[in-house]
Amino acid sequence: MIERTNYSMLQHNTFGIDAATTCFIEYDSEEDLQEVRKRIAVAYHGLPILHVGKGSNLLFLENFQGVILHSAIKGITEISQTENEIYVRAGAGEVWDDFVDTCVKRGWAGVENLSWIPGEVGAAAIQNIGAYGVEAKDVIYEVECLELATGDKRIFSCEECHYGYRKSIFKEQLRGQYAVLSVVFRLKCSFTPNIEYGGVRKALTELGIEPDKVTMTQLRNAIIDIRKQKLPDPEVQGNAGSFFMNPVVEKVVYEQLAQQYDSCPHYDQPDGRIKIPAGWLIEQCGWKGQNLGPAGVHKKQALVLVNLGGATGEDIARLSETICRNVYERFGIAIHPEVNFIGKNGLIDVK
């Protein structure tokens, strides 16, 4: 167990916000986490607890007056294999992209489209991360957790996680109640490329690769290239990736919009509703490349808010609120942050 008091979270959030926490504790096994629980009961009784990963989807609005937990549980282990599938357990503290890299190198298919997403394995199961037509829920078999209040271990099947677009039971009914210890993935022994999303096919062709003959490694590398071109590197410019979720609207709302803007991009959803890219709505409001003080909108991707230097969480939140208001005034469509806002007592609901 590593314990630090009055600790700056600067190195633990990709927005580069210098907020402090009363206490930061890192543990590296289930037994260690049980010891952490005892330590909290003695030294920090009654203080709020917040579990974090790499902080690539967090926005600290102020100092956190409580205990922040971080998992350093490592390990990627093959558990069992059938003719077509392989079950693999990964520790919550594994870096997500290291896990993807291992899978691709060992020929375990299913996560290659999720290459180069920042963060850790535990958070991937909380967030239901997604990119290029794949979501974590498509490959998660079960999530092994520890209930922080009781110390009881519980295994959630993928169905019990109630996954949806960037959401899970851990972000709603059970918010803040469980620490993810490890995640079991169900992967495929043979590779079928999924390249019909986000310009992947075109990128492969431009690289001189015949799309239908692409290898898993080539696909991973192409996706990394696309992501590096499109998204700012948090090491260079603080950000948390897509700041807003794409709104899903009733068909009639989209049809009204399409009458005014025939260029409006849209994606049909299985329930008959329509997903509209939030980035497009924000760009139409003229925000791309603009800023409010040290909080900016990325010049290549309007969905990404950036720290132009020295921004506070409040600066970023002010820009977010202004953009949401402008989009609503112009289109009558509400957009909401995907990023988790953290106040002095923990996660804050942003409507």
Rounded distance, CA 77 to CA 89, Å? 5
**Which residues within the stretch 136-155 sit at the binding site for ligand FAD (CB under 6 A)?**
none
Binding to ligand FAD by residue 57, rule CB under 6 A? yes
State yes or no: is 242 an active-site residue.
Answer: yes
Which DSSP string do the residues of 30-78 spell out, in sequence order?
A: HHHHHHHHHHHHHHSTT--EEEESSSTTEEE-S-EEEEEEEE----EEE
Distance of alpha carbon 306 from alpha carbon 203, whole angstroms: 26
Residues 6+ apart with CB under 8 A from 92: 53, 71, 73, 120, 121, 122, 123, 125, 179, 180, 181, 182, 183
Specify whether 320 is catalytic: no
Active site residue: 71, 168, 182, 242, which one? 242
Residue 284's φ and ψ, nearest 5 degrees, are: -60, -30
Number of residues binding to ligand FAD, judged by CB under 6 A: 31
Rounded Cα gap, residues 7 and 25, in angstroms: 10
Question: Using the rule CB under 6 A, which residue among 58, 76, 88, 285 binds ligand FAD?
Answer: 58
Does the footprint of ligand FAD cover residue 100 (CB under 6 A)? no
Among residues 166, 168, 182, 220, the one annotated as catalytic is 166
What does the block give as tokens for 286? Answer: 């003229």
Note if 26 is an active site residue: no
Q: Least distance (Å) from ligand FAD to the CB of residue 189?
A: 26
Exactly one of 231, 249, 323, 324 binds ligand FAD (CB under 6 A); that residue is 231
298 lies in the site for ligand FAD, by CB under 6 A: no
Smallest gap from residue 54 Cβ to ligand FAD (A): 3
Query: Which residue of 16, 37, 49, 55 would you call a contact of ligand FAD, by CB under 6 A?
Result: 55
Q: How distant is the alpha carbon of residue 77 from its chain centre? A: 23
Task: Tell whether residue 277 is a contact of ligand FAD (CB under 6 A).
Answer: no
The single residue among 63, 221, 239, 312 that binds ligand FAD, judged by CB under 6 A, is 239
**Least distance in Å: CB of 61 to ligand FAD?**
14
Whose tokens are 């953009």? That residue is 323
Whole-number Å distance between alpha carbons of 188 and 194: 13
C-alpha 55/C-alpha 271 separation (Å) is: 33
Q: Which stretch binds ligand FAD (CB under 6 A): 2-10, 112-120, 215-223, 259-267?
A: 112-120
- The residue from 71, 115, 168, 221 that contacts ligand FAD (CB under 6 A) is 71
Check: CB of residue 95 under 8 Å from CB of residue 114. Answer: no
Instruction: Name the pairing type of β-strands 58-60 and 340-343.
Output: parallel
The minimum distance between CB 23 and ligand FAD, in angstroms, equals 16
> Based on CB atoms, which residue is closest to ligand FAD, 241 or 247?
241
Alpha-carbon span 346 to 58, nearest angstrom: 11
Q: Which stretch binds ligand FAD (CB under 6 A): 25-33, 75-83, 127-135, 191-199?
A: 127-135
From 86, 131, 209, 295, residue interacting with ligand FAD (rule: CB under 6 A):
131
What is the rounded distance in angstroms from the CA atom of residue 110 to the CA atom of residue 185? Answer: 9
* Residues found near ligand FAD in the complex (CB under 6 A): 14, 51-58, 71, 92, 117-120, 122-124, 126-127, 129-131, 179-180, 231, 234, 239-241, 340
Catalytic residues: 166, 242, 338
